[in-house]
Amino acid sequence: MSRLKLATVWLGGCSGCHMSFLDLDEWLIDLAAQADVVFSPFADIKKYPEYVDVVLVEGAIANEEHLETIQIVRERSQILISFGDCAVTGNVTALRNPLGSAEPVLQRSYIQAVDLKPQIPHEPGIVPHY
Ligand code: SF4
């Protein structure tokens, strides 16, 4: 029997879901007997594999990089499990949505709430417009 190819992905989340995953403690040993972790923040693997049986996705899609990542993950994974509130409902990451656009969030976070050298990050796509 071939071993399960398991991945975990970290998008816009605090990593608490991954920490909770590690709280499986001794059950991780049982999991290791059944599955190979082929991609994860726990493993130093840079490229998402061409084929994954099951992927756990933590966090919401919060920027352009996340969007590109999740499209690749969707394409190459047989089963995708939204892992935690941020992945399912947006949760903390979605608190900015009622503000309508990225601009008020950027102003509040990087100009109004900063004492030293306030400036808005200028990397394209770092925060989506909507
Ligand atoms: S649901 Fe979101 S806020 Fe809660 S632990 Fe997971 S990533 Fe963090």
pLDDT, tens digit (0-9, with 9 covering 90-100), for 106-120: 888 899 999 999 998
Which residue, judged by its Cα, is nearest atom 2 of ligand 1? 86
Q: What is the pTM of this model?
A: 0.84
What burial class does residue 100 get, using C-beta atoms within 10 Å of its C-beta: 0-12 exposed, 13-18 middle, 19+ buried?
exposed
Instruction: Identify whether residues 104 and 65 lie together within a single domain.
Output: no
- Are residues 119 and 78 located together in one domain of the fold? no
Best mean pLDDT range from 18-22, 41-45, 97-101: 18-22
Q: Are both 9 and 55 inside the same structural domain?
A: yes
Contacts of 125 (CB under 8 A, 6+ apart): 63, 64, 65
Residues 69, 124 share a domain: no
pLDDT of residue 102: 77
pLDDT category at 128 given cuts 50, 70, 90 is low
Q: Closest ligand 1 atom, CA of 19?
A: 5
CATH label of the domain that carries residue 62: 3.40.50.700
| Whether residue 39 sits in one domain with residue 21 | yes
**Mean per-residue pLDDT, 4-11:** 97
pLDDT score of 129 more than 60: yes
Domain of 126?
Answer: 100-130
Total of domains in the chain: 2
The fraction of the chain above a pLDDT of 90, given in percent, is: 69
Closest C-alpha among 2, 9, 59 to residue 36: 2
Residues near ligand 1 with C-beta < 6 Å? 13-14, 16-17, 58-59, 84-86, 91-92
